[in-house]
A and B are shown apart, each in its own frame.
Chain A
Amino acid sequence: MSYIRKVPNTWWLKRKPYTLFIVREITCVAVAGYCAFLLYLMYALRQGPEAYAAALGLIMSPTSYVLHVVGLLFVLYHTITWFNVTPKVFVFYVGEERVPAVVVAGAHYAGWLGVSALVAWLLLGTGTPG
């Protein structure tokens, strides 16, 4: 009779690539969490100046700073690891030559940089900061 080996719950600690995979999957919690946080800010803004000021006060706390730094690291890891696998999904040919992976991934980074620059310009460059 064949023997079936059980997979231990710690399978993802067995090899580094599995651990990095699980880290990548967990970082999506930070992405979702920050989306929820931005929605909360918009909600507070709609509630009036006092509620918004209270929300801003919350952001200025030391705990919030730490959470933001950790969140940023998680989101960066999430973005970079996903951008790096985009060449697996998007396969283009120019004539009969396949567009190199670095160009496909690079286009995503360029887009990211472009959108970030646009947001920075909207927030910092166009008007008086709040």
Chain B
Amino acid sequence: MAQTIELEIFRYRPEQESEPTLQSYEVPYNEEWVVLDAINYIKDEIDGTLSYRWSCRMGVCGSCGMMVNGVPRLTCAAFLKEYYPRKILVEPLDGFPVERDLVTDMDMFVAKLTSVSPWIIRNEGEEKPLEEGTYLQSPGELAEYKHYSMCINCMLCYAACPVFALDTNFLGPAAIAIGQRYNMDSRDQGRDQRQEVIASHDGIWHCTLVGECSTVCPKDVDPAGAIQRAKLSSTTDYFKDLLMPWGRRT
């Protein structure tokens, strides 16, 4: 008899229930399958009403993040064999409102991301005309921020962050890491503008360094490190302003 594995899946269908439930499915066990393959099997062969997000199946798009046995994972990178023969509990990412089944409401994240102005900002009048070519950057300058730029906006770091779960006003790991990505880019001049959001109470100072955001990150972005470094540079700014007010940055 072919081997099977049980998946217990979080279901929430607002038109027919006010509280979420768990539904069990028995799917064929295949060593080469990831959790997303099993969920796709359920959708195609067992229950077409199941809703979830996915796209690339190769850890690039960041769409298929879910809680797998309580840990935020990209389901396209979580192999069934990591769990077999235990059953697998699949839930929507923690901390976010659930729209339906495994689909979360991402608006909050998109707003946070936009608030850090995630693009290169130049001082007025200091933008290079197109005919002068690109802004040059050394490999060392690129290395300063490159790992932050690897973020795929999968939101696993948010789902791993208890500070965000307890207070969704927290700007959160990915938005701060992406803000730092631009702050540390030698071509950028927008740090002071971003500081208003990043160094606010709901920004870096809300973080208590649990560190799980960096542990679960599938791209080794290390948002926890980004936040701590931003804390250090904000503190340095504070003391510089205090001790050398004449050198105040404009």
Contacts and interface: CB of A to CB of B under 8 A. Distances in A.
B141 to A, nearest CB: 10
Interface stretch (B42-50, B189-197, B221-229): B221-229
A5 B222 CA distance: 27
B162 A2 contact: no
B165 A96 contact: no
A12 B12 contact: no
Contacts of A11: 162, 165-166
Contacts of B231: 89
A4 interface: yes
B211 to A, nearest CB: 7
B210 A96 contact: no
B242 interface: no
A21 interface: yes
Interface residues of A, number: 23
B94 A5 contact: yes
Interface string B193-226: 0000000000000001111101100000010110
B212 A18 contact: yes
B212 A17 contact: yes
A15 B70 contact: yes
A88 B97 contact: no
Interface of A: 1-5, 7, 11-12, 14-15, 17-18, 21, 25, 85, 88-91, 93, 95-96, 98
Nearest to B107: A2
Nearest to B18: A3
Given A17-B212, A85-B209, A89-B231, 15 more contacts: A2-B97, A2-B98, A3-B98, A4-B97, A5-B94, A5-B98, A14-B70, A15-B70, A17-B215, A18-B162, A21-B212, A88-B224, A88-B228, A90-B232, A96-B140
B71 A15 contact: yes
Nearest to A17: B212
23 contacts: A2-B99, A2-B105, A3-B19, A3-B97, A5-B20, A7-B165, A11-B166, A17-B212, A17-B215, A18-B162, A18-B210, A21-B210, A85-B211, A88-B209, A88-B211, A88-B224, A88-B225, A88-B228, A89-B228, A89-B231, A89-B232, A93-B140, A98-B143
B12 A3 contact: yes
Contacts of B97: 2-4
B14 interface: yes
Nearest to B104: A2
A61 to B, nearest CB: 36
A90 to B, nearest CB: 8
A4 B20 CA distance: 10
Nearest to B99: A2
Contacts of A90: 232
A76 B232 CA distance: 24
B232 A25 contact: no
Nearest to A84: B211
Contacts of B165: 7, 11
Contacts of B214: 88
A96 B143 contact: yes
B125 interface: no
